[in-house]
Chains A and B, each alone.
Chain A
Amino acid sequence: MSEQLMTYFSWIVMAATVALSFIVVVAKWPIFGAISLIGSLLTAAILFVMLSAPFTAVTQILVYAGGILVLFIYILMLLGVKRSQWSRGQKFALFGLFFGSLIFTCVPLLAVLQPNVAASGFAAVADDFGSIEKFGKSLLAGYAYPFELMSVLLVAVIAGVVYLTRRDE
């Protein structure tokens, strides 16, 4: 019974993620797009929790929704972007491209792979899969080098941003 409820809940959250991402693309005012992108990231974080990845979910909320998207909203506030207007031909092309590509990729895939829609295909994992201890051990065991390179990248980005936004005196 609770398994069924979780399945229906996951369907609702997936539909919310897709709908919010769609609003990002078609919104007239970019600020609506930014806010619905934050909502889409939050629903994606719910999906991560359901996929046994709690640390990834929290990282996404803290860094992505809480850092990057807030930066976007600051810049939108500073730049004052105009509303976007879609002409009728553009709306037609947008929907046509979207649904056409969906049909042309999903139908052959479903025909060739013939998936078993009932089974979810999940491997059996330990209870602490995706927990912060396991995450930390896996990260520093095999991926210490990219981890350190990431810190170098972030320092380079800070230097770049400070240079790009200097005043020309």
Chain B
Amino acid sequence: MNLYLVTGFVVFLIGAVGVLFRKDAISLFMCVEVMLNGINITLVAFSRMWGDMQGQLAVLFVIGVAAAEAAIGLALMLQIFKHKGSIQLNELTDLREMRD
């Protein structure tokens, strides 16, 4: 198995574990970007292994969609901060049901 694929997988795994463990929204979002980085590495490695250009085209679209998602996500976080004063995930509990 190619070492490039292992690198992509390990980076994706690090990002996934980070998404589960981070407590503030911006760091969570950065761990999602780490996951996308791992996916890009895997796509380019497969594209080179099979001599197919489609992997690199997919990376272009992934980067474009990541840019769009980052813009909207960060604008949302600014609004949340403006209204609630904090972006710690523990304190964003508006949708939680009232427990008896």
**Chain A residues within 8 Å of B, Cβ to Cβ:** 10-11, 14, 17-18, 21-22, 24-25, 27, 30, 33-34, 37, 40-41, 44, 47-48, 51-53, 55-56, 59-60, 63-64, 67-69, 71-72, 75-76, 78-79, 81-82, 84, 90, 93-94, 97-98, 101-102, 105-106, 109-110, 113, 115, 117, 120-125, 129-130, 134-135, 138-139, 143, 146, 150, 153-154, 157-158, 160-161, 164-165
Contacts and interface: CB of A to CB of B under 8 A. Distances in A.
B92 interface: no
Interface in B41-56: 41, 44-45, 47-51, 53-54, 56
B95 interface: no
Contacts of B88: 82
Count class of interface residues, chain B = 35 or more
Interface of B: 1-4, 6-7, 9-11, 13-15, 17-18, 20-24, 26-27, 29-31, 33-34, 37-38, 40-41, 44-45, 47-51, 53-54, 56-57, 59-61, 63-68, 70-72, 74-79, 81, 87-88
Contacts, number: 206
A102 B13 CA distance: 8
B37 A150 contact: no
